[in-house]
A and B are shown apart, each in its own frame.
Chain A
Amino acid sequence: MSEGAMASATRLTPDELHGWLAGMLGDKRVLAAVDEDGLRVFRSVERADQIALPTGKTRWSPKEFLFARTETLFAYSVAGNEVTLDGAPVESAEQVLVGVRPCDAAGFLRLDAIFLDGDADSLYASHRVRTTVVTVACDEAGPECFCTAVGGSPASDKGSDVHLTRVADGWLVRPVTAKGDRLTASLAGVGRAPSPEEHAEAETQSTRVAGHIRQSAIAREWAAILESRFHLPLWETLGRRCVGCGICTYVCPSCSCFDVTDTGSASCGERCRSWDSCTFAAFTRHASGHNPRATQAARYRQRVLHKFSYFPLGHDGESMCVGCGRCVQLCPVGLNVRETVQAVVAAAADGHDAGG
């Protein structure tokens, strides 16, 4: 990060940091990465000792706190010929996501672009305004990470409200937005200005971790190239081992497809939206049985092109994928979106190249 930005940081001891985080517990919902018997996920925490800032990612992204797995749109009740609808209760309790990785914070920006563009989705918007994001710069990168290939970085503060960096014996805390200013207001008089050594240490860490990610960049121009290569037979070769399990879409910070269904009886219940996946055959299957995306390879292509072509072409070239690498790591058959993109771009324009 630039010198200027770093200048407004405060250096806290681990105890001071912990005190600050614990202080939020009273009036806010605090969401932090928690290890549950080997499964690390963001959970609402009640006690200060549950707030840790572990290295590494959670199994799936924290998007569920803005775009829930299942969310009530409204409740209905039917009595005879009369129907009453009740809008979803609007939650207003402030929530703070603590320990978000830069890739996941970038994911929130992608969701913003999807849900807040034009007529904003009122439910998403209501969760977004009440959420403050505290990011932590990564002090290590996994073999699956490739944020740097899609315009991110392990030290990025994009999408963050307060950015934390671990330094020897302490933390640098830096508000990034007005929301971040509010959240750090309680730090007045706590901590001290970081030393030049600490700034340098943060810089070194950022360079070192970024250096571990040896994945070549996915160029912005590729979005158009990929779109023009929709018809390459190579897609079939690349995608045929996809089993359509949906893991990639459910763990992804920027996947946002959903289903709308009713739950309850004909007399009362709710209409809800729930996560859905473009890798499922049923996603596009018509009632007639006709399926526009008839093969699993076609569905895999849809996911890759949405991330790396369709979305960027509508968003100044910005990739929808933020390079968290979760889908790469968790895909049961080892499909790697980054390599797929590279293979398609590298293929001869007629695409009769062998592939994976």
Chain B
Amino acid sequence: MFQQSQAAATTPAVAETATWQPQIVALICNWCTYAGADSAGTARRSYPASVRAVRVPCTGRVDPLLIVKAFEQGADGVLVSGCHPGDCHYVQGNMVARRRFTVFRALMDFLGLDNRRLHFAWISASEGAKWSRAVDEVTTAVRAAGPLRDWGRTGARRSAVRLPAVPAAPRSAPSADDQRAVGGHLQRLAATLLTEGRVSVVIGYTPGSLPAQMVPAFVTRPEDAPALGWSDRCVNNLSVYLPGAVRQWGKVALVAKRCDVNGVVGLLQESQIARDDVVVIGVACPGVQDDGGLALKCHACGGDAPPHADWTVTPGGAEPGAHPSGASGAVAADPRDALVTYLESLPAEDRWAYWQDQFSSCLRCYACRAVCPLCYCAVCVAEKNRPQWIPVNIEGKANMTWNIARALHLSGRCGGCDECARDCPADVRLDLLNHRLSREIEQRFGYRSGADPAVAPPLATFRPDDPQEFIR
């Protein structure tokens, strides 16, 4: 109720007068730029006082959340500068950072942040002149962009942007017989796995209390296997339960759709579970219904049998092993592509207004985190209070920080199951944020989540020749 006064208290008062000076935070590496800036300072090639330099040990230590915090606390622009690739004091910190910055920049651009506010540079200790020039250019750019007044807001949605309609579902509903058949095979397979002691629990689906609803079920006794079922309402990505279930039960069998397997692969990649812990029961999926229509993620999915499965269940039966046809099987374009492209086609300020709207309703229930198989941290960044990365308040600025943090933490890891977006009570289009970043990562680094458990996640690695055209 007093969010307004609160915003006023935490934002430095910015009088909109000719005397306005941009507030620019420069995160600069101790080993190079800082020395370069120092030499610039001593050489009296002075730079505007509006630049607050923050010395960091390496750009590799610049978590993009630091940049977000700068904006949250009232900065109008941010400059990050460190050693040239190859010159890192810690050998490769800056090259890992470069990938992170790539993704962060893509995200901020997609959110519609005026790109005059965010700058990256490689400036060595001997490049005092380059530093001075960079500071001049950045200051000019931020000055032109003006005071950043609307970083996060609360209240009614105001933007006129409406996403275009999604084309009709390309796949017809599966037949009731097929669904029953799959359910039957799942029941028999679960009973066998439990009876033979190959697993201690089977995580699958069972009818819920609302019409047609299917909900997660944990079956631990063969005689309970008939509770399992299958339909196009099996929306949950059950891999969210895997790490906990493995801790509790040891061997776990998991019913998984094509998209859910991405979660399993992610958990394997990040060593949260071992391959032997889990028996993946892949179901050749007919596409799931979300909000009465085919889920967006399913439009382009051929419903192929999942890879990495230990069992494959189709209406025809249950077979050991994975049997993906390998064919892309795409039946239609991914509507998320079209929606992302549409948003990208808008002027940045419209995009900004759109996302401000989206985040303004966020309740900070953290359901997006709870349902994500890759949000497994025992203590989430949102629970860390020293420092307080994510402010506890449920209002605009904090909502921005949370939503950016979530999107970044899932970048290069999200398997596109869209559970977060499906469950978000405020309908925040988290699916589009994730999709945009997955696309960036695929285009830039040639990486697709969920493909190979043996490959390092893209933001944990780098290539010396990674693109860097955005770095001055």
Report A-B touching, CB under 8 Å: yes
Least distance between A146 CB and chain B CB atoms (Å): 10
Q: Contacts of B157 on A, CB cut-off 8 Å?
A: 36-37, 39
* Contact indicator A243/B371 (Cβ below 8 Å): yes
Which residue of A36, A127, A245, A270 contacts B365 across the interface (Cβ within 8 Å)? A245
Least distance between B343 CB and chain A CB atoms (Å): 14
Query: Which of A8-16, A70-78, A109-117, A183-191 lies on the face that meets chain B?
Result: A70-78
Which residue of B6, B155, B218, B422 contacts A332 across the interface (Cβ within 8 Å)? B422
Q: Contacts of A264 on B, CB cut-off 8 Å?
A: 9-10
Q: How large is the interface on A (under 10, 10 to 19, 20 to 34, 35 or more residues)?
A: 35 or more
* Contact indicator A246/B1 (Cβ below 8 Å): no
- Complex: A114 Cα to B454 Cα, angstroms: 54
Total residue contacts A-B, CB cutoff 8 A: 147
* Contact indicator B210/A245 (Cβ below 8 Å): no
Least distance between B197 CB and chain A CB atoms (Å): 20
Considering only residues 276-325 of chain A, those with a C-beta below 8 Å from chain B are: 277, 280, 282
Least distance between A111 CB and chain B CB atoms (Å): 15
* Contact indicator B9/A339 (Cβ below 8 Å): no
Asked whether B175 is an interface residue with its Cβ less than 8 Å from the other chain, the reply is no
Which residue of B213, B240, B361 contacts A243 across the interface (Cβ within 8 Å)? B240
- Complex: A330 Cα to B224 Cα, angstroms: 27
Asked whether B346 is an interface residue with its Cβ less than 8 Å from the other chain, the reply is no
Least distance between B430 CB and chain A CB atoms (Å): 13
Q: Contacts of B10 on A, CB cut-off 8 Å?
A: 263-264, 269
- Complex: A58 Cα to B10 Cα, angstroms: 32
- Complex: A70 Cα to B365 Cα, angstroms: 13
Which residue of A88, A241, A249, A329 contacts B2 across the interface (Cβ within 8 Å)? A88
Query: When A71-B1, A91-B1 are in contact, do A250 and B217 touch as well, CB less than 8 Å?
Result: no
Q: Contacts of B392 on A, CB cut-off 8 Å?
A: 259, 261, 263, 272, 274
Considering only residues 408-431 of chain B, those with a C-beta below 8 Å from chain A are: 419, 422-423, 425-427
Q: Contacts of A38 on B, CB cut-off 8 Å?
A: 427
Q: Contacts of A72 on B, CB cut-off 8 Å?
A: 1-2, 5-6
The chain A residue with its CB closest to the CB of B214 is A334
Asked whether B43 is an interface residue with its Cβ less than 8 Å from the other chain, the reply is no
Considering only residues 123-165 of chain B, those with a C-beta below 8 Å from chain A are: 155-157, 162
* Contact indicator A43/B156 (Cβ below 8 Å): yes
The chain A residue with its CB closest to the CB of B158 is A36
Asked whether B176 is an interface residue with its Cβ less than 8 Å from the other chain, the reply is no
Asked whether B260 is an interface residue with its Cβ less than 8 Å from the other chain, the reply is no
Query: When A250-B365, A264-B9, A329-B210 are in contact, do A244 and B370 touch as well, CB less than 8 Å?
Result: yes
* Contact indicator B215/A333 (Cβ below 8 Å): yes
Q: Contacts of A127 on B, CB cut-off 8 Å?
A: 1
Considering only residues 237-273 of chain A, those with a C-beta below 8 Å from chain B are: 237, 240-241, 243-247, 249-251, 259, 261, 263-264, 268-270, 272
* Contact indicator B425/A241 (Cβ below 8 Å): no
Asked whether B367 is an interface residue with its Cβ less than 8 Å from the other chain, the reply is yes
Q: Contacts of A275 on B, CB cut-off 8 Å?
A: 363-364, 394
Q: Contacts of B86 on A, CB cut-off 8 Å?
A: none
Render B386-419 as a binary contact track against A, CB cut-off 8 A, 1 for contact: 0010011111000000000000000000000001
* Contact indicator A69/B363 (Cβ below 8 Å): yes
Could you name 22 residue pairs across A and B whose Cβ atoms are closer than 8 Å? A34-B156, A36-B157, A60-B363, A68-B1, A70-B6, A71-B1, A72-B5, A89-B2, A91-B2, A237-B218, A240-B218, A241-B218, A243-B240, A243-B370, A245-B367, A247-B365, A270-B6, A275-B394, A282-B383, A328-B209, A334-B213, A354-B221
Leading 9 A-B pairs by shortest Cβ distance: A334-B215, A245-B370, A245-B367, A334-B208, A69-B394, A246-B365, A72-B2, A332-B423, A261-B392
